[in-house]
Structure 1
Amino acid sequence: MAFWFNVATGQVENDDTRGMDSDVMGPYDTEEEASRALQTAAEKTKAWDEADRRWEEGED
């Protein structure tokens, strides 16, 4: 079963309770992973921004 994080409600959902596509992030393998969806997204965005900065400055 997949888990989803609903950004509208702030709740973890499963396939049976999942909200609209535009409201959910996922799928995630575990409820715990889904509960950290916003943190994971922020960490990935920060890493991608840093990679872009290095590329634009010719460091990579």
Structure 2
Amino acid sequence: MAYWYNVDTGQVETDEDKSQGANLMGPYDSQDAASHALQTAREKTEAWDAADREWDEGED
């Protein structure tokens, strides 16, 4: 079963009850992973931003 995080409601949804629209993050393999979607996205964005800074600093 796939799980989705609804950014509008802050609720985890399944394929059976997921909302229509573009405000869903996922799919995730577990309810726990979906419930941490925003935290995971934040951590990935911070890591990508750090990698971009390192790349930019390395260019002359």
Q: Which of the five TM-score ranges fits, normalised by the shorter chain?
A: over 0.9
Consecutive unaligned residues in structure 2, runs of 5 or more: none
Given residue 47 of structure 1, which amino acid in structure 2 is its aligned partner?
Answer: A
TM-score (norm 2): 0.94
RMSD: 1.1
SS in 2 for 1:13: strand
2:20 counterpart of 1:20: yes
SS in 2 for 1:52: helix
Deviation at 1:44, TM superposition (A): 0.1
Sequence identity percentage: 61
Given residue 3 of structure 1, which amino acid in structure 2 is its aligned partner?
Answer: Y
> Number of residues paired by the alignment?
59
Whole-angstrom distance in 2 between the partners of 1:21 and 1:55: 35
The equivalent residue for 1:45 is: 45
TM-score (norm 1): 0.94
2:6 counterpart of 1:6: yes
Q: Which moved more, 1:43-52 or 1:16-25?
A: 16-25
Structure 1: 4+ residue segments shifted above 3 A: none
